[in-house]
Structure 1
C-alpha cells in the first residue's frame, strides 16, 4: 500500500533575474503545490534567510521540512530551521528531481518573469498576480483541483488534527 504524502514538506529555490543580482524566492508545499513568491533585491544569504522565515512563519505549525539546493544563498539554513522549528535538507548536487515540485514551479513562474528579465521593475502587484494565477490554476496531479483549494483543505485538516491532539 502506498503511503500518503505528508502535508508540510516544503521546497525552496531562487529564480534569478538578468544581471545575477536580484531574485525571486520561490517556495512551494509538496502535497498541495501551493506556491509563495517573494522578490529580494540581493541574493544574499541574509536576504534569502529573512524572506524564508517571514514567508513561512505564518505556517510554522505545519512546516516539517524545507529542502533547497546547495547554493550559498541558503547558508543561513540553521537560523531558518531554528526559526521555523523545522528540519532543513539540501538536495544532492545536480539532483534537481529531489526538488521536482519546485523545479516545475520555477518553470511556470518563468511564464510571468522570463529569463533575461530585470527584476528591478517587478512590483508587488506583479508577484501577487503571478501567485494568484499559479495557485488558482487547476492541476491534473491534484484531481483538477487548484493548489489553493488543496492547501486550504490541508491547512484546515491539519489544524483540526492538532486541536484534537492538544
Structure 2
C-alpha cells in the first residue's frame, strides 16, 4: 500500500548538502509520498542530532495523523532512527543501498529544489524566508499525477479527510 501511494502519511527523507569543501550547511528534506508535499528544513550539519531536531520540528508542525512511516537512505544522519521510533512512535525504514529510485518522490523533489540552489550553493547562508518561498512555489505547482492539483491542495485534502 505504501508503494502504490494509497495511504496518506508515508514520508521519504533525505539531505541536500553544500558542495564538498564548502560550509557544512545542509537541508533535511521530507516528501509525503501520496500527495508529493515537500518540506526542507535547514540543518547546521549532517549529524544525527541535527536530523533529529529537523524531524522533531516537522512532527511538531503537523498533526500526528500525517505520520505513519519514514523511509531514508542509510546515511549517518539517519542514525537517529531508534529515537524517531521510540520517542515519536513513527516507523522508520531504510531503502536498499544504491537504490535512490526506492525514494523517488524525495529524489525528484530534491532535483526541483536544486533548480533554485545549484550544487555550488553554500546552503548554510541561504535566507530562511527565501527557502520558504521556494518550498511554497514547489508545493503550489500543479502536478499531472495529482490530477493537476498541487501537492499543497492534495496534502490539505488528506489532512481534512483522512481518518
The reply to whether TM is greater than 0.5 is: yes
State the 1:85 CA deviation: 1.4
Normalising by structure 2, what TM-score?
0.91
4+ long deviations beyond 6 Å: none
Whole-Å Cα distance in 2 between the matches of residues 100 and 10 of structure 1? 11
State the alpha-carbon separation in 2 of the partners of residues 78 and 119 from structure 1.
Answer: 27
Residues 25, 45 of structure 2: 8 Å contact kept: yes
Of residues 112-121 and 26-35 in structure 1, the stretch that sits farther from structure 2 once superposed is 112-121
TM-score by length of 1: 0.90
| Pair 1:142–1:75, CA change in 2 (3 A) | same
Equivalent position of 1:164 in the other structure: none
Q: What residue number does 1:130 align with?
A: 134
In the alignment, is residue 75 of structure 1 matched against residue 71 of structure 2?
no
Following the alignment from structure 2 to structure 1, what is the Cα–Cα distance between the partners of residues 159 and 111? 26
Which structure is higher in RCO with an 8 Å CA cutoff and minimum separation 6? 2
Which of the residues 154, 157, 161 maps onto 1:157?
A: 161
User: What aligned pairs does 1:1-80 form with structure 2 within 5 A after superposition?
Assistant: 5-18=6-19, 19=22, 21-57=24-60, 58-80=62-84
C-alpha contact 2:31 2:106 (8 A) present in aligned 1: yes
Gaps of 5+ in 2: none
Between structure 1 and structure 2, the one with the greater Rg is 1
Aligned length: 157
Q: Which protein has the bigger helix share?
A: 1
- Helix, strand or coil for the counterpart of 1:127? helix
Instruction: State the Cα deviation string for residues 28-73 of structure 1 (Å, max 9, x = none).
Output: 1000000111111111110111111211233322211100000000
Higher alpha-carbon deviation: 81-90 or 38-47: 81-90
Unaligned runs of 5+ residues in structure 1 are 162-166
Instruction: State the shift of 1:122 in Å.
Output: 0.5
